């Protein structure tokens, strides 16, 4: 029996101890008419050898295309040591550190993670993670409402560059408690906020800024942070952790800094894996810590006075506060945080800077090459980090299909976001000059052949 150690003798003896004739007797409190004899659609068992063969065949169907898509998930090299260690049974098969003395490995790792992510974001405190970047925005919005009690509107204003899926997720989750989300106006030339058109008197409880924006642009976060604070709003920032090797951290935005930072932790050593498991990070100013959702680890001392680590501020959480908790979150993304902590330790600040610079340089050379093709140009003016929007002279979807046939994933179709034929491309440090040339040549070839040009 797979994964069940019982011999027939064991089972017999155990039933005898219980005083039952058969295992079936152990289910005798369940009304007979509710029980089924067998499942109908689950197939018969496979051995490990058989399932391994099946999974290899299926993996092969998905292939290993050359990927120039970003749009919220990024391909970075992951040092072998990261997952070698994270999948050690002691990390992989442990649970939430309820028994602190028997979970110091997980707890110390989270404490080190909290230190690293607060350093990157320039804020004071971090939780032990949320599910992903999108749901982190939902939690940050709810936290902003709990924190900024003077404002009763429940209205959150989103900068134009906030990932549209993040907005959908935040609306689905936080909308249930009456929060509403509105977009600030975009300056179509730069893709950034149109400061001339900022609304008056909307009484936002929070303003959300994403840097770099979903379309890759870099906004004047200082100016918008100061405007939001002047409006009486909290500032929630969504940031890419790799970019923070170079870009000004949220804690230093404007006069007072952002109040809460959140985002997608996937770029820090987590495989893209079709969308998950990733982890959402969240940091904030010290004074807001009691409104933060999720688990938090603190350093304390034991009976001998030696340092040790434990979950703390648990009075915020669902297992204590039940219906009055800051969130219903229980399990978070512990294993991913373990991987990210090892990743950040291996790279250090300088390693992260190199990755950020290399990703920027690769994207810049991809953008330069593509813009030299007739029919492609920059969509937005201004600087970018490692992702940039392009304007095309024809529909994007057929072009991407044709590239995919050559095993090149040529970018994210930005048409519905931008309201024009547009493409979002990204080339991280994983791409060589030859890869980038291959990509540019494929674009040029397909565009020259096709009669897809818009009328």
Partner 1 sequence: MNSPKSSELIFDKSRSGRRAFAQAPATTAAAAIPAALLRSDKPRLPEASELQTVRHFTRLSQMNFSIDTQFYPLGSCTMKYNPRACNALALLPEFAGRHPLSPVSHGQGFLSCMYELQEMLKDVTGMKGVSLTPMAGAQGEFAGVAMIKAYHDARGDHERMEIICPDAAHGTNPATATMCGCLVREVPTGPEGDIDFDALKAAVGPKTAGIMLTNPSTLGVFERRIKEVADLVHDAGGLLYYDGANLNAILGKVRPGDMDFDVIHMNLHKTFSTPHGGGGPGSGAVGVNDRLLPFMPIPVVGKNERDGETEYNWLAEDDLPQSIGRLSGFMGNSGVLLRAYVYMRMLGRAGMQRVSEYATLNANYLAARLGEAGFELAFPTRRASHEFIVTMKREAKSVNLTAMDIAKALLDKNYHAPTTYFPLLVPECLLIEPTETESKETLDNFVAAMIEIVTAAKEDGVEYKEAPYTMPVRRLDDVKAARQLDLRYQPDKT
- Based on CB atoms, which residue is closest to partner 1, 138 or 233? 138
Q: Binding to partner 1 by residue 12, rule CB under 8 A?
A: no
Q: Give me the 352-391 binding string for partner 1, x by CB under 8 A, dash otherwise.
A: x-xxxxx-xx--x------------------x-x------
Q: Binding to partner 1 by residue 434, rule CB under 8 A?
A: no
Candidates 27-35, 148-156, 201-209, 435-443; binding stretch for partner 1 (CB under 8 A): 27-35
Q: Please, which residues have CB within 8 angstroms of residue 85's CB and are 6 or more apart in sequence?
A: 91, 338, 342
Angle of CA points 29, 35, 37, to nearest 5°: 130
Least CB distance to partner 1 at residue 249 (A): 6
Task: Give the residue, chosen from 8, 64, 434, 449, that forms a contact with partner 1 under the rule CB under 8 A.
Answer: 64
Least CB distance to partner 1 at residue 184 (A): 19
Least CB distance to partner 1 at residue 393 (A): 22
Task: Give the residue, chosen from 75, 187, 259, 387, that forms a contact with partner 1 under the rule CB under 8 A.
Answer: 75
Least CB distance to partner 1 at residue 200 (A): 26
Q: Binding to partner 1 by residue 122, rule CB under 8 A?
A: yes
Task: Give burial (CB, 10 Å; 0-12/13-18/19+) of 28.
Answer: exposed
Long-range contacts of the stretch 75-80 (C-beta < 8 A, 24+): 75/272, 75/428, 75/430, 76/242, 76/267, 76/269, 76/355, 76/359, 76/428, 76/429, 76/430, 77/429, 77/430, 78/269, 78/270, 78/271, 78/339, 78/343, 79/269, 79/342, 79/343, 79/346, 79/347
Task: Give the residue, chosen from 27, 372, 420, 453, that forms a contact with partner 1 under the rule CB under 8 A.
Answer: 27
Q: Binding to partner 1 by residue 217, rule CB under 8 A?
A: no
Candidates 120-128, 150-158, 198-206, 368-376; binding stretch for partner 1 (CB under 8 A): 120-128
Least CB distance to partner 1 at residue 7 (A): 8
- Based on CB atoms, which residue is closest to partner 1, 329 or 422? 329
Q: Binding to partner 1 by residue 330, rule CB under 8 A?
A: yes
Task: Give the residue, chosen from 225, 341, 436, 443, that forms a contact with partner 1 under the rule CB under 8 A.
Answer: 341
Q: Binding to partner 1 by residue 57, rule CB under 8 A?
A: yes
3-state secondary structure of 18: helix
**β pairing state of 180-183 and 155-158:** parallel
Q: Which of residues 254-273 bind partner 1 (CB under 8 A)?
A: 264, 271-273
Q: Which of residues 124-153 bind partner 1 (CB under 8 A)?
A: 124-126, 128-129, 131-135
Cα distances (angstroms) measured from residue 260 to each of 25, 317, 329? 56, 19, 18
Strand partners, 425: 388
Report residue 263: phi and psi, to 5°.
Answer: 165, -175
- For 293, other C-beta atoms within 10 Å of its C-beta total 24
- Based on CB atoms, which residue is closest to partner 1, 229 or 295? 295
Q: Which of residues 30-49 bind partner 1 (CB under 8 A)?
A: 30-31, 34-36, 38-48
Q: Which of residues 309-328 bind partner 1 (CB under 8 A)?
A: 309-310, 312-313, 315, 317-325, 327-328
DSSP 8-state class, residue 45: P
Least CB distance to partner 1 at residue 357 (A): 5
- Based on CB atoms, which residue is closest to partner 1, 158 or 344? 344
Q: Binding to partner 1 by residue 417, rule CB under 8 A?
A: no
- Alpha-carbon distance of 195 to 184, in angstroms, equals 9
- Based on CB atoms, which residue is closest to partner 1, 183 or 321? 321
Closest to 436 (Cα-Cα) out of 386, 362, 375, 355: 362
Least CB distance to partner 1 at residue 343 (A): 9
Alpha-carbon radius of gyration of the chain: 26
DSSP 8-state class, residue 217: B
Strand partners, 237: 209, 261
Report residue 22: phi and psi, to 5°.
Answer: -150, 165
- Based on CB atoms, which residue is closest to partner 1, 17 or 200? 17
Q: Binding to partner 1 by residue 72, rule CB under 8 A?
A: yes
- Alpha-carbon distance of 210 to 192, in angstroms, equals 10
- Alpha-carbon distance of 120 to 248, in angstroms, equals 9
Candidates 194-202, 227-235, 397-405, 433-441; binding stretch for partner 1 (CB under 8 A): 397-405
Q: Binding to partner 1 by residue 178, rule CB under 8 A?
A: yes
């Amino acid at each position: 029996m797979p994964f069940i150690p019982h011999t027939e003798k064991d089972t017999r003896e155990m039933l005898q101890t219980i005083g039952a004739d058969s295992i079936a007797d152990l289910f005798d409190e369940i009304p007979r008419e509710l029980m089924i004899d067998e499942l109908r659609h689950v197939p018969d068992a496979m051995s490990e050898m058989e399932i391994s063969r099946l999974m290899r065949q299926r993996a092969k169907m998905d292939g290993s295309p050359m990927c120039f898509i970003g749009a919220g998930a990024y391909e970075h090299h992951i040092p072998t040591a990261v997952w070698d260690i994270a999948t050690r049974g002691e990390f992989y098969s442990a649970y939430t550190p309820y028994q602190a003395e028997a979970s110091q490995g997980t707890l110390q790792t989270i404490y080190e993670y909290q230190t690293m992510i607060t350093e990157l974001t320039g804020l004071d405190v971090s939780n032990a993670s949320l599910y992903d970047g999108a749901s982190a925005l939902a939690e940050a919005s709810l936290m902003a409402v709990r924190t900024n009690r003077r404002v009763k509107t429940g209205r959150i204003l989103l900068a134009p560059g906030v990932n549209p899926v993040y907005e959908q997720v935040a609306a689905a989750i936080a909308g249930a408690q009456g929060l509403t989300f509105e977009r600030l106006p975009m300056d179509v030339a730069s893709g950034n906020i149109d400061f001339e058109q900022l609304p008056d008197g909307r009484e936002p409880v929070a303003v959300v800024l994403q840097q770099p924006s979903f379309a890759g642009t870099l906004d004047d976060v200082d100016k918008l942070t100061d405007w939001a604070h002047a409006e009486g709003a909290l500032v929630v920032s969504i940031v890419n952790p790799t970019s923070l090797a170079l870009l000004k951290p949220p804690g230093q935005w404007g006069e007072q800094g952002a109040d809460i930072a959140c985002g997608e932790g996937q770029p820090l050593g987590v495989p893209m894996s079709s969308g998950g498991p990733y982890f959402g990070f969240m940091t904030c100013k010290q004074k807001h810590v009691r409104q933060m959702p999720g688990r938090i680890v603190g350093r304390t001392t034991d009976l001998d006075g030696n340092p040790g680590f434990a979950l703390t501020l648990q009075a915020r959480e669902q297992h204590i506060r039940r219906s009055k908790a800051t969130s219903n979150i229980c399990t978070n993304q512990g294993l991913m945080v373990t991987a990210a902590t090892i990743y950040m330790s291996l790279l250090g600040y300088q390693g992260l800077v190199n990755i950020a610079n290399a990703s920027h340089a690769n994207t810049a050379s991809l953008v330069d090459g593509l813009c030299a093709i007739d029919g492609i140009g920059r969509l937005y003016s201004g600087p970018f980090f490692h992702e940039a929007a392009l304007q095309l002279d024809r529909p994007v979807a057929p072009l991407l299909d044709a590239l995919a046939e050559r095993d090149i994933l040529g970018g994210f179709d930005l048409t519905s976001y931008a309201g024009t034929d547009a493409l979002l491309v990204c080339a991280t440090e994983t791409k060589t000059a030859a890869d980038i040339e291959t990509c540019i040549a494929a674009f040029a070839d397909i565009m020259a052949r096709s009669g897809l040009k818009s009328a």
